[in-house]
Amino acid sequence: MNAQEPTGHEAGTRERILRAAFQLFHEQGYHATGVATILREAGVNPGSMYHAFPGKETLLEHVLEYALELLGPAVMDPVEAAAADPVERVFALMAQYRAGMVLAGCRMGCPIGNLALEVSDNHPEARELIHRNFAAWAARVRGWLDAADDRLPRGLDRERLARFVLTVMEGGLMQARAAGGLAPFDEAVAQLRDYFDALESRARAEVRRRAPRRRAPRGAQPPARRAPNTRPNKEAR
């Protein structure tokens, strides 16, 4: 084993600290969470924490890297297991966030979105990691949009659409927290659904326009034109 790699015990301690800090930063915010609270929730002593993380800011950076690692197994993989259709995965993802808000009573919202508002201005390293979290989230959604293929219009910027989906999610959660209810989130998702329906309708129209027209067989006679009606008008008799 490399001398720089943590032992099994150290790795377990590090995992407990990261898990506790991630949860507490989500529930209470970064600035409102004291190191003592993290130690208590993780069940570790100060020496163990400072051996793994020299300070709270370093811990924040590792928490954001931890969130990147969790994105697949905790967020996106369950959605892909629940929905095979690539477009419906977008709305299964929205439903997953909605379910979380129901459980939390419309509190807390998105952990990465919360940290973006709280620490990005004064912590450039954290800001970069938050950006990477958002980019990884959007990239996974972009993969679903690519899989939708010709169900979406040609020339559609799917990267921008994936970012728009992220904006709907974050904005809907933030407004739901402010309202203390799910109506703003549901309205945002309904509008997103309308937009996707319009995109799919446009794509179907494009497919119809691209379809080759059926040509009459060579030598076929055009259909005979009907003679005009020459019967006298009864009223004119």
Q: Is residue 91 situated within a structural domain?
A: yes
Domains: count for the chain: 2
In this prediction, residues 61-89 reach a mean pLDDT of 98
Using pLDDT thresholds of 50, 70 and 90, give the confidence band for residue 220. Answer: low
103 shares a domain with 30: no
71 shares a domain with 37: no
Q: Which domain holds residue 15?
A: 9-54
The DSSP letter of residue 105 is T
35 shares a domain with 91: no
Q: Is residue 190 situated within a structural domain?
A: yes
How far is C-alpha 135 from the geometric centre of its chain's CA atoms?
10
Please report which residue ranges of 46-123 form alpha helices under DSSP H.
46-52, 56-70, 77-82, 86-104, 111-119
186 shares a domain with 100: yes
The DSSP letter of residue 106 is S
pLDDT of residue 231: 56
**CB 92: neighbour CB atoms within 10 A?**
17
pLDDT over 50 (residue 159): yes
In this prediction, residues 86-111 reach a mean pLDDT of 97
Q: Is residue 234 situated within a structural domain?
A: no
Query: Inter-axis angle of helices 86-104 and 183-210, to 10 degrees?
Result: 180
> What is the model's pTM?
0.84
Domain of residue 46, CATH code = 1.10.10.60
176 shares a domain with 92: yes
What are 3-28's pLDDT values in tens digits? 344 555 567 899 999 999 999 999 99
The Cα 208–Cα 8 span in angstroms is 60
Are the beta carbons of 42 and 19 closer than 8 angstroms?
yes
162 shares a domain with 126: yes
Q: Is residue 3 situated within a structural domain?
A: no
68 shares a domain with 158: yes
pLDDT of residue 4: 42
71 shares a domain with 22: no
Q: Is residue 153 situated within a structural domain?
A: yes
3-state secondary structure of 207: helix
pLDDT over 90 (residue 144): yes
Query: Tokens 């809907």 map to which residue?
Result: 172
pLDDT over 70 (residue 50): yes
105 shares a domain with 30: no
Question: What burial letters (b/e) apply to 8-19, b meaning 16+ CB within 10 Å?
Answer: eeeeebbebbbe
The Cα 16–Cα 21 span in angstroms is 8
